[in-house]
Amino acid sequence: MKVEFTAAQIAALLGGKVEGDPEAKVWGVARIEDGASGMLSFLANPKYIPYIYNTLSSVVLVNDDFEPSEPVKTTMIRVKNAYEAFAQLLATYQEYTSNKVGISENAYISPDAEYGDNCYIGDFAFVGERVRIGKNVKIYPQCYIGDDVVIDDNTVIYAGVKLYAMTHIGKNCIIHAGAVLGADGFGFVPQPDGTYKKIPQIGNVLVGDNVEIGANTTIDRSTMESTKIHDGVKLDNLIQIAHNVEVGENTAMAAQVGISGSTHVGKNCIIAGQVGISGHLSIADRTTIGPQAGLTKGVREPGKSIIGSPAYDYVKFMKDVVRQRNIDKLEEKVAELEKKLEELLSK
């Protein structure tokens, strides 16, 4: 079903001011350069200013201080920050269109499980014993919610997510399809005969508030106590977090990061794609780790940027890259100097 909004309605929601037709209607979003009738776009980056004079989008969000150099044909809505306003609008639209409520008769819910008002539990979801689910929680089809799991208010669990027993999810979280939280940590003791004896993993996973976990990401339960993902953490798709790891508040990780057991990652860190971090390390707050870096030792100083494998200071790494690119010239220079030295010695 196509849902339409007028420029006036959007401006009222965002606290903006309409310039143009307040009854201009939109039902979708598009980049300003790819605009079409019925689309909403935004202009935040100055390099895209030329597109606003020819865009076919019906409504464009612009910053308060935008001063056009020629007439603008489309309807504009002036807001304090066009990019943030656009993000707010998308969030509102998503909430409006995905506000599912109701319990499917095809779901299994243990008789002693509890759930709050306005919940949605989809087809073939399984909710185990003593589970506690808060208000406005959305659990999409084919999810597995193990025994003694706690899911706090306003959290969304997308299709196919598996929450093993005793996992605790905070408020306002989003867990995307296929994620697995609470599987056993990778703990084995080598035996004299070359086999491995499994170490029981009896801990759990604790996830704070306002956390987002990407599709097919896995977070292992601890051997004892808890693997901890603190408030505000953002995890991309396909991330592996091992047992007993702790990730500090507001840290963000891109896809294919792997963190080995018992490592502590500080607050407000940024970890780029395909980073590998060894076990039992401590990463200081506000550390930035570049793509494909490999950490074999901890980072003690807050706010450092590192890259490479093994990882070290970003600035030094970039200087070394320049030197490596000039190694052929250096080889030629050394050969030339050796030839001159031989000539001098022969005289």
Dihedral sign computed on CA atoms, order 39, 40, 44, 46: positive
Q: For strand 102-103 and strand 120-121, is the pairing parallel, antiparallel, or unpaired?
A: parallel
Please state, in angstroms and rounded to a whole number, the distance separating the CA atoms of residues 65 and 51: 17
Catalytic choice (168, 176, 230, 243): 243
DSSP H/E element including 335: helix 327-346
Residue 136's CB is within 10 A of a number of other CB atoms, namely 18
Contact 177/161 with Cβ under 8 angstroms?
A: yes
Q: Which of 252, 189, 267, 175 is nearest to 219 (CA)?
A: 175
How crowded is the C-beta side of 285, counted as CA atoms within 13 Å?
A: 5
Q: Report CA torsion sign: 183, 263, 254, 250.
A: positive
The structure tokens listed for 20 are 């143009």
Closest CA to 163 of 142, 188, 189: 142
Secondary structure class of 122 (helix, strand, coil):
coil
Asked if residue 227 lies in contact with residue 241, where contact means CB atoms within 8 angstroms, the answer is yes
- Tokens, residue 48: 């895209």
Kindly report the three-state secondary structure assignment for every residue of 122-189.
CCCCEECCCCEECCCCEECCCCEECCCCEECCCCEECCCCEECCCCEECCCCEECCCCEEEECCCCEE
Q: Which residues are CB-neighbours of 345 under 8 A, at least 6 positions away? A: none
| Residue 168 falls in the annotated catalytic set | no
Tell me the catalytic residues: 243
